[in-house]
Amino acid sequence: MVADLPGRVVVLVDGQGVEVRTPDGSTLAVPDPVDDALPAQQPTWSPDGRRVAWASFDDDGRPAVRIDRADDGGTEESVVHGLPTAPFYFQWSPDGRHLVWMGAGRGRVVGGIVDADADADADVDADADDWPDILASGGTLFVDWLPDSTGLVTHSGQAMLELVLPGSEPVVLVRSTGPFGAPEVLPDGRVLAAGAVEESGQVHVAWGRELESAQIPLELVDTADGARTPVAVVEGTLVRFDVDPTGSRAAAWTVGSNGNKPLVVVDLRTGSTERLLEDDALGAFWSPDGSALALLRRVDAGHLAWGVWWGGATDWLEPFEPTNEFTLGYLPFLDQYARSVTPWSPDGRGMVHTLAGAEGPTVVVQPVDPVGERVPVGRGDAAWWSPG
């Protein structure tokens, strides 16, 4: 059942190496060997599934992004682009031409753009030259690409929503947002964000005078003119979300006023909501066709569990102890990672994740349609499925 699943899996091994494997664990390519002296982090597939980018260092020990083909058996040398700081996140543009990175600056988060098609030693083309050296910065920073790859939407400092286009100054879409993390640009170009409420010149980031009644409005922001359309209201003091590929539904997980963490599915056309979890929600990823939702919840202090929702009951899978890499590097910002990686197989019949096994960090493939036993497929700290 695992061997016939489509696509490939990129795996971070021991924080040192990057491998590309088939779903049954056979290694196809080793872009970055484990015994290499340079560490590796954040392997991220290109939209066409032909290349992988990851954080590392150049030959002089400076922070860099390395980009390599995933279908050449590891025979070609990686293209290396130096960066001003060590990156902790990548997101490819939908057309695969550019790569947005984020990393830590001096007391802030900074981001920038890399031309993924240019050789590191070649002259950068005029289009890439038009992007600012530093895309944006703030105490917090979240991003998402426009569907046509012509620009990005950034959410910085927990307040400012901006449109960034090459060759021009950023355009402020919303100056004071509500409390949320990563924006998401829908297929029609509108942006899902959390709205603030303005009364008598004061901005309230959540509705409700009493903490117990705090609510957050979700709204769609037009990137053409900044017009804001109310969608729904969710309970809580902080919201994160992932929109399905059709742009019609959003999975929203919140931190409630009493510390609970519910998860709801919001119909972005009608504003109706369906509650899937009352508490312990940690994140969610829609399947490639949007027919299913993978939910992640906390079972107890040391264990998590994935569940799959098909529109009715949720099939909860076997609990697991997460790896340190997943817990520290991915879990706090799953809404941002939902924009750039996926645990889902291209056909939605399987999922991949890692766990702290008896013999160390282990990659497992989990059949979900139909549900079957998870299968260990080798060592690994973090793993993500290719888009195709």
Q: What is the mean pLDDT of the chain?
A: 90
Same domain, 121 and 183: no
Same domain, 13 and 116: yes
Same domain, 331 and 351: yes
Task: Evaluate whether residue 336 is within a structural domain.
Answer: yes
Same domain, 329 and 350: yes
Q: How far apart are CA 184 and CA 284, in angstroms?
A: 14
Query: Using CA of residue 186, residue 240, residue 339, residue 79, what is the dihedral sign?
Result: positive
Same domain, 128 and 215: no
Total residues belonging to the chain: 388
Total number of domains in the chain? 2
Alpha-carbon separation of residue 66 from 120, 142, 202 (angstroms): 10, 22, 46
Task: Evaluate whether residue 285 is within a structural domain.
Answer: no
Same domain, 103 and 206: no
Q: How far apart are CA 17 and CA 74, in angstroms?
A: 12
pLDDT at position 360 is 95
DSSP code per residue over 224-258: TT--EEEEEEEESSEEEEEE-TTSSEEEEEEE-TT
**What percentage of the chain carries pLDDT values higher than 90?**
76
Under 8 Å between Cβ of 15 and 381: yes
Tell me the chain's radius of gyration from C-alpha atoms.
20
Q: What is the pLDDT confidence band of residue 212, given thresholds at 50, 70 and 90?
A: low
Number of C-beta neighbours around residue 315 at 10 A = 15
3-state secondary structure of 318: coil
Task: Evaluate whether residue 123 is within a structural domain.
Answer: yes
Task: Please confirm whether the linkage preceding 370 is cis (ω < 30° from 0).
Answer: yes
> pLDDT tens digits for 90-115?
999 999 999 999 998 888 899 999 99
Task: Evaluate whether residue 127 is within a structural domain.
Answer: yes
Task: Evaluate whether residue 241 is within a structural domain.
Answer: yes
Same domain, 11 and 107: yes
Same domain, 130 and 45: yes
Which of 246, 279, 312 corresponds to the end of one domain?
A: 279
Q: In a 10 Å sphere around its CB, with 0-12 CB exposed, 13-18 middle and 19+ buried, how is residue 202 labelled?
A: exposed
CA-based nearest residue to 65, from 98, 36, 94, 37:
98
Task: Evaluate whether residue 296 is within a structural domain.
Answer: no
Same domain, 133 and 189: no
Alpha-carbon separation of residue 222 from 38, 65, 155 (angstroms): 43, 32, 15
Q: How far apart are CA 272 and CA 279, in angstroms?
A: 20
Q: Going by C-beta distance under 8 Å and a sequence separation of 6 or more, which residues neighbour residue 65? A: 53, 54, 55, 56, 80, 81, 83, 87, 90, 99, 101, 114
Tell me which of 382 and 237 has the higher pLDDT: 382
Host H or E run for residue 113: strand 109-115
Which of 244, 279, 314 corresponds to the end of one domain?
A: 279
Task: Evaluate whether residue 47 is within a structural domain.
Answer: yes
Q: How far apart are CA 125 and CA 342, in angstroms?
A: 31
Same domain, 84 and 157: no
> pLDDT tens digits for 301-356?
999 999 999 999 999 999 999 999 999 999 999 999 999 999 999 999 999 999 99
CA-based nearest residue to 352, from 45, 100, 61, 41:
45
pLDDT at position 211 is 52
Residue 168 is part of a domain; what is its CATH number? 2.120.10.30
CA-based nearest residue to 239, from 250, 227, 228:
250
pLDDT at position 184 is 98
Q: Going by C-beta distance under 8 Å and a sequence separation of 6 or more, which residues neighbour residue 201? A: none
DSSP state of 371: B
pLDDT at position 201 is 46
Under 8 Å between Cβ of 143 and 91: yes
Same domain, 37 and 113: yes
Task: Evaluate whether residue 216 is within a structural domain.
Answer: yes
Same domain, 226 and 349: no
Which of 73-82, 84-93, 188-197, 246-255 has the least mean pLDDT?
Answer: 73-82
Which of 253, 279, 305 corresponds to the end of one domain?
A: 279
DSSP state of 150: S
> pLDDT tens digits for 15-67?
999 999 999 999 999 998 888 778 999 999 999 999 999 999 988 889 999 99
DSSP state of 331: G
CA-based nearest residue to 205, from 237, 240, 178:
178
Domain that holds residue 228: 149-279
Dig out the tokens for 10 from the structure.
Answer: 């990129």
Which runs of consecutive H residues, i.e. helices, occur in the chain? 126-129, 324-329, 334-337
